[in-house]
Amino acid sequence: MQHYSYVITLYKRMTLTCTSLQIHPDLWTFNIIINSLCGSNQVDSVFSVLGRIFRCGYEPDVVTVNTILKGLCTDNEVSKAMELFRKLQKTGYPLDKIAYSVMIDGLCRQRMVKDSLTLFSEMKKKGISPDVVTYSCLIHGLCNAGQWDEAKALLTEMLSCGILPNVTTFNILIDALCCKDGKVIKAHEMLEVMISKGMEPDTITFNSLIRGYCLLGEMDDAVIIFNVMISRNCKPNVRTYNTLIDGLCMIRCLKEATRLFNEMHTRGGGPSVLKRNLLLDGLCEVNHPGEAIKVFHVIEDGEIHPDSITYNILIDGMLRAGQFKVARELFSLIPAEGLHPNVITHNIMIKRFCNKGMLEDAYEMFLQMEEKGCPPDVITFKTLIKSYLQKNDDIRAMLLIDEMIDRGLLTKKLSMPMSLLKKPKTDGVSNACLP
């Protein structure tokens, strides 16, 4: 993007200098300018350059036209591109297969598959032979539209014309089979066909297959594909690891998920915060606090730092495992990350303190919330009130209920049973106050 801006600036300077010297850029230079304008999202300015091309006595060539058409389609101005395309046709301008392919791709990206098929038929009637790019664009559009039978028919036609699919074509088909049609076995077969034809699958190919198996919960097969990927010297990217870690966490295969997590960091990558949090949540869920802490330290040392959710998951996991000291330490670390414990963080601590009968610690945390500018919510109050009622401390419970009313956190409907607290207590009366 930066070099496009430099080219445009240079062109403006050249225009001022050349105009005074009666020197004009040639068509090759104009084409570079048009490409730079399209590449920097300034497609509207292209037509002023096109006007200047005509004023200088030049005729736009195929490079000029195709660049403008592609720029308009990339800018989601497919209707304008189609209008220009038809105008050029009427003038008898010789539009080539690149122009048709650009328009077919643009129409497909706008989900106008019917129009793209019409243009495809028109192209063949005019004796312009589609190439692998044309077919790939159309197959992609059909797959995205869910027209799988039509896509397969087009693939058959392509092969009958002696046009071999390239890696992009195979990737489109494999992705459609895996992620849109759920036919992962057929996609796997297509991978084998691809390799048999001497084509080397890339990261996109393997990622689609891995994702397909993960969506079906077939993690053994997903890991097999991952190992094939490594054996063929195809480097996994962040998406590869994210997909695998996600799938493994879903089926609680956390040992393998942790191994991949560590491997990813060894290779110099790092999963997204969401996937890291998912792994931590899984480890905490199956009561592996030690492993969770190890993963957390890896996260701390990485480029993407823990977020509030990371801390909330880990603090809750430590408290559930009875690691109250570790949980408190984690809680105290939050400000060092430039974060602030939110109401969820405090509620987690208060709930676990209450469950352990540590009401004084829970109440102290409750008081700290206000001091730190984090007002308690309904859940905070309900957790404390229930705990006080269970300990038969109706006075504190009533004080908290009054405070809820003062803060507008309790509706009349909910406050009706509170009068029961002021009457002589019978079995079960106190806990009738809150659900």
Res 19: pLDDT: 55
172 has a pLDDT exceeding 70:
yes
Total length of the chain:
435
Give, in degrees to the nearest 5, the angle at Cα 159 between 183 and 162: 160
Average pLDDT over residues 118-125: 90
Half-sphere exposure of 53 (CA within 13 A, CB side): 19
Name the band, by pLDDT with cuts 50, 70 and 90, for residue 152.
confident
18 has a pLDDT exceeding 70:
no
Res 211: pLDDT: 92
Give the span between the Cα atoms of 299 and 310, in whole angstroms: 10
Res 416: pLDDT: 38
Instruction: Give residue-wise pLDDT tens across range 257-275.
Output: 778 777 776 666 655 677 6
DSSP letters spanning 170-196: HHHHHHIIIIIS--HHHHHHHHHHHHH
Instruction: Give residue-wise pLDDT tens across range 355-370.
Output: 999 999 999 999 999 8
Neighbours of 250 (CB within 10 A): 14
Q: Which amino acid is at 97?
A: K
What are 312's two structure tokens?
């909330």
Considering only residues 104 and 280, tell me which one the structure prediction assigns the higher pLDDT. Answer: 104
Res 426: pLDDT: 43
Contact 43, 75 (CB under 8 A): yes
Contact 308, 337 (CB under 8 A): no
Name the band, by pLDDT with cuts 50, 70 and 90, for residue 384.
very high
Considering only residues 166 and 17, tell me which one the structure prediction assigns the higher pLDDT. Answer: 166
Res 429: pLDDT: 38
Instruction: Give residue-wise pLDDT tens across range 298-354.
Output: 766 666 678 889 899 989 989 988 889 999 999 988 888 888 899 999 999 999 999
Give the span between the Cα atoms of 384 and 363, in whole angstroms: 8
Average pLDDT over residues 165-189: 84
pTM over 0.75: no
292 has a pLDDT exceeding 50:
yes
Res 428: pLDDT: 41
Considering only residues 422 and 224, tell me which one the structure prediction assigns the higher pLDDT. Answer: 224
Res 352: pLDDT: 93
Contact 183, 191 (CB under 8 A): no
Mean pLDDT over each residue of the chain, to the nearest integer: 81
Res 358: pLDDT: 93
User: Which of 33-42, 114-123, 140-149 has maximum average pLDDT?
Assistant: 114-123
Res 367: pLDDT: 92
Torsion angle in degrees (nearest 10) through CA of 60, 63, 65, 69: -160
The alpha-carbon radius of gyration of the chain (Å, integer) is: 32
Instruction: Give residue-wise pLDDT tens across range 30-77.
Output: 788 777 877 777 777 778 777 877 877 778 888 888 888 888 888 888
79 has a pLDDT exceeding 80:
yes
Average pLDDT over residues 132-144: 89
Considering only residues 421 and 112, tell me which one the structure prediction assigns the higher pLDDT. Answer: 112
- Give the Å distances, CA to CA, from 43 to 62, 71, 82, 108, 300: 17, 6, 15, 20, 44
